[in-house]
Amino acid sequence: MRLRPNSPWTLLLLLTLGGRAGAEADAPPRALACLSKWYPVEPVKVDGVWHARLGGATYPWDDGKTKSFEEKLESPDLEDSFSIPYTPGPITPVTRENEDPGRIRFDPLFHATYGASEAQVDVVDISFLGQKLKVNRKAAPAFERVAKRLDAAVKQEPSLTPYLKNLGGTFVWRKIAHTNRQSAHSYGVSIDVNVKRSHYWEWAKPKEPVRWVNQIPHTIVEAFEAEGFIWGGRWYHYDTMHFEYRPELLDPACR
């Protein structure tokens, strides 16, 4: 059916489409809206600009600055933390410079969710494949689900066992080596698998140029990613022992 320019049907269609466009324009950015699914975030508009309300403070979603990768690491806004998409799936070498999805962290988000000081981080003991670990109470169920997956995987593939013994650690309030940035381990949401079977770009000799390397089996990576953990082996600046609970980066609704 061909609609005439001034017909009632044409006007109704234009009003409907206009209403939808107006609603979409008034909605928060997709990733910001999705964050509230995983964190205590409230999207709010301040002077027509979208912000995130976190624990009584308000932060701009986008600070409007053009930044280099290093500047995003040192002084990110929330939007920056989504600027490099995290892609699960088969393990492939990471060769694109600074392709480090998840290394950009907005500390106020973690402070409001998990604690802004060592004393404020609420950690609990869990059993992880027979090893006692301290993790954040809020992330403990995710760790336990991973442990259940890995326990089943080890029974099918006993060759996985050496990677999951002598775990490198979980909760430690500290800075990332050679930086002033807080480590994700500070919040009790990260775990390192067996260090002796892992690779870290800072330990490589020579360190430059960065040459990605890994020996962590895909089955282990898959178990963690299925429960919302990102893997440092998907970084150009690789840290293959490292897994970190970042469900927003694996949630398709947040992309």
DSSP symbol at 87: -
Backbone phi, psi, residue 200, to 5°: -140, 130
pLDDT at residue 75, rounded to an integer: 96
**Do 193 and 223 form a contact (C-beta atoms < 8 A)?**
no
CB of 188 closer than 8 Å to CB of 173? no
Beta partners for residue 60, in sequence order: 51
- At residue 192's C-alpha, the angle toward residues 190 and 195, to 5°, is 165
Q: Is 168 exposed, middle or buried (0-12, 13-18, 19+ CB in 10 A)?
A: middle
Q: What is the pLDDT of residue 86?
A: 98
What is the rounded CA–CA span in Å between residue 95 and residue 83?
Answer: 18
pLDDT of residue 20: 44
Q: Which of 156, 139, 147 is nearest to 247 (CA)?
A: 139
Q: What is the pLDDT of residues 36-50, one digit of tens each?
A: 999 999 999 999 999
In order, the DSSP letters of 101-122 are TT----HHHHHHHH-SSGGG--
Alpha-carbon radius of gyration of the chain: 22
Q: How far apart are CA 253 and CA 247, in angstroms?
A: 11
**Given this model, what pLDDT does residue 38 score?**
97
DSSP-derived letter for residue 169 is B
pLDDT for the residue 16: 43
What pLDDT, on a 0 to 100 scale, did the predictor assign at position 82?
A: 97
CA–CA dist 99, 233 (Å, integer) = 11
In whole angstroms, give the CA distance from residue 179 to residue 126. 30
Q: State how far the Cα of 164 lies from the Cα of 27, in Å rounded to an integer.
A: 44
Q: Write out the H or E segment, with its range, that includes residue 23.
A: helix 8-26
Residues of the chain where predicted confidence (pLDDT) is lower than 70: 1-25
CA-closest candidate to residue 252, choices 21, 37, 93: 37
Of 254, 31, 255, 246, which Cα lies nearest the Cα of 139? 246
For residue 89 the two structure tokens come to 């799936």
Q: Reduce the DSSP state of residue 53 to 3 states and report it.
A: strand
